[in-house]
Amino acid sequence: MDDYKKSFEEFVKGGRITKSINSFKIKLFLKKGENSLLIAKHIKEFKPGQGEPEKLYWNYWAITISYYSMLYCAKALILTKGYEARDHDAAQVALGYLCVPSEMEKDDLEILNQSYKIFEDEYVKYFEDAKTESHIARYSAIKTYTERRLDEVFENARKFVSKIAIILAD
């Protein structure tokens, strides 16, 4: 949390995270994230035919789109806190700093029977992992993905997107 606080302050100073009153974007980013996850699922399950690129290349894009579904939903959640993140690292920092509640905040949400609104640190880790895998999938010439790893990244993206959708449903 302290690392995120320091980075958050640096990113605000550098303009990578800015204050925002553009709350109309929340629903737009959420919808973009939810639909991107559906596209990732379609590509993940796609069985290439003769003359089409082999499955490995489809998997690269399924991972990348899974990550972007998380990024769009992260941007929606960050906007609810009055900020916008200008890049991928800034989104991760803003998530970690603004969206993971303190123990006191968690207790308050549980008392109010709103524990479903608790955005745990594990979701930030899902985001970080997907961001890393997406980067490798886009820029590495040699990485291959097992179906198990693709399933893991996709499932984490599904949990992430679902959690944010639940938090934003109110």
Q: Is residue 61 part of a domain?
A: yes
Q: Is residue 23 part of a domain?
A: no
User: Tokens 């594990």 label which residue?
Assistant: 122
Q: How far apart are CA 57 and CA 63, in angstroms?
A: 10
Q: Is residue 17 part of a domain?
A: no
Q: Is residue 15 part of a domain?
A: no
Report the domain count for the chain: 1
How do residues 70-83 score in pLDDT, each as one tens digit?
A: 999 999 999 999 99
Q: Is residue 21 part of a domain?
A: no
Mean pLDDT of 102-128: 77
Question: What domain range is 146 assigned to?
Answer: 2-10+29-168
- Per-residue pLDDT at 105: 67
User: Tokens 């990485």 label which residue?
Assistant: 143
Q: How far apart are CA 88 and CA 75, in angstroms?
A: 10
Q: Is residue 131 part of a domain?
A: yes
Q: Is residue 22 part of a domain?
A: no
Domain CATH code at residue 80: 1.20.120.330
Q: Is residue 141 part of a domain?
A: yes
How do residues 28-61 score in pLDDT, each as one tens digit?
A: 999 999 999 999 999 999 999 999 999 988 999 9
What pTM value is reported for the model? Answer: 0.91
